[in-house]
Amino acid sequence: MSVTLSVLDLSLITEGSSAADALRNSRDLARYTEQLGYYRYWVAEHHNMPGIASAATAVVIGHIAASTSTIRVGAGGIMLPNHAPLVIAEQFGTLETLNPGRIEVGLGRAPGTDQFTMRALRRTLQTDEQQFPRDVLELLSYFKPAEAGQHVRAIPGVGLNVPVWILGSSLFGAQLAAMLGLPYAFASHFAPGALMHAAEMYRSRFEPSEYLAEPYMMAGFNVFAADTDEQALLIRTSSRQSTLNNRRGRPGQLPPPNADFDAQLNHAEREMLDESQRCSAVGTAAAVRDQIEQFVAQTGVDELMINANVYDQEARKRSYEIAMQCMADVVTPSRLSI
């Protein structure tokens, strides 16, 4: 077995801290995981979320890229319906110009927020289910060499061939990525329900393209690793509290661990949390390796985008350290040629 390991960072704002603290922690985590050997570092677009500091996603990517030297940096993802494709092409073309060979963009069609904030972002909620594929194609065109008579170009951006991924948590993204011959990332770290069906659909329908000769799939995966099982279970409670708060319509900053949290849950709440975090590894190095190996064997994914929503920065770094160390003999660089 071989697998590539990468990092998903939501620039978490923890209780008692600020957005400035979160962005400093992101820079610190990026530098640390680069040293550990992680392959890419992605941040995600979320708006009006009290616990997430990466709303200006391209700006945060620039902050991370300027603070590192080798790790690939990108968006997991940009919610393309919130933006004109030309603007994204210019932003990521600029990032690629400043950091050659290190920038990539994952595209999603979800809003990354609530309807009120969507209206503030977009000014209209008129939607067309075909607009997202058209927008993806438009964005791809801006990264190609300019054609004769082309009136609109992304400068910087034109001719840079910035790698583009399709993201998803349903079958729509799998079908689109397969049709366009693009790499595909599934958000199984919080929405695992359709993972296996999406993986089968992506692989079976994949059409080779100028971007990719064969399918390449990444899956989100939570890791809560520590030196003891008790510590691992404890640090996981912050993420579980946050998820429950979001489901109750009360999003907030990431709370500190609570050893009594699980005992306070009713049956339905426990089932919901267990299902939403089904794609996770929890425990010491040996347990984490076993759970990662089982997941990779079951899904056949090429790469894991590891998410660790852990309250304490040093405990979070330690979780990423354990994950990399326990998998060191099977971790490989990405085989993507794009």
Q: Tell me the pLDDT tens digit for each residue of 18-50.
A: 999 999 999 999 999 999 999 999 999 999 999
**Cα distances (Å, whole numbers) of residue 88 to 85, 151, 276, 329:** 5, 17, 31, 38
**166 neighbors 184 (Cβ within 8 angstroms):** yes
pLDDT of amino acid 327: 97
pLDDT of amino acid 335: 83
Q: How far apart are CA 279 and CA 187, in angstroms?
A: 10
What Rg do the C-alpha atoms of the chain give, in angstroms? 19
pLDDT of amino acid 114: 63
Name, in order, each residue with C-beta under 8 angstroms of 104's C-beta and a sequence gap of 6 or more: 40, 72, 73, 74, 75, 162, 163, 164, 165
Which regions of the chain does DSSP assign to beta strands (E)?
4-9, 40-43, 72-79, 103-108, 164-168, 184-186, 217-225, 280-283, 303-307
pLDDT of amino acid 239: 98
pLDDT of amino acid 338: 45
pLDDT one-digit tens code per residue, 74-91: 999 999 988 999 999 999
Q: How far apart are CA 252 and CA 235, in angstroms?
A: 17
Rounded to a whole number, what is the largest CA-CA distance in the chain? 66
Which runs of consecutive H residues, i.e. helices, occur in 74-184?
85-98, 115-122, 131-142, 171-180
The parts of the chain modelled with pLDDT lower than 70 are: 111-129, 337-338
Q: How many CA atoms lie within 13 A of 85 on its CB side?
A: 20
- Which superfamily is assigned to 4-326 in CATH? Luciferase-like domain (3.20.20.30)
pLDDT of amino acid 276: 96
**220 neighbors 190 (Cβ within 8 angstroms):** yes
pLDDT of amino acid 3: 97
Residue ranges of the domains in the chain? 4-326
pTM equals: 0.94
pLDDT of amino acid 116: 63
Q: How far apart are CA 216 and CA 177, in angstroms?
A: 10
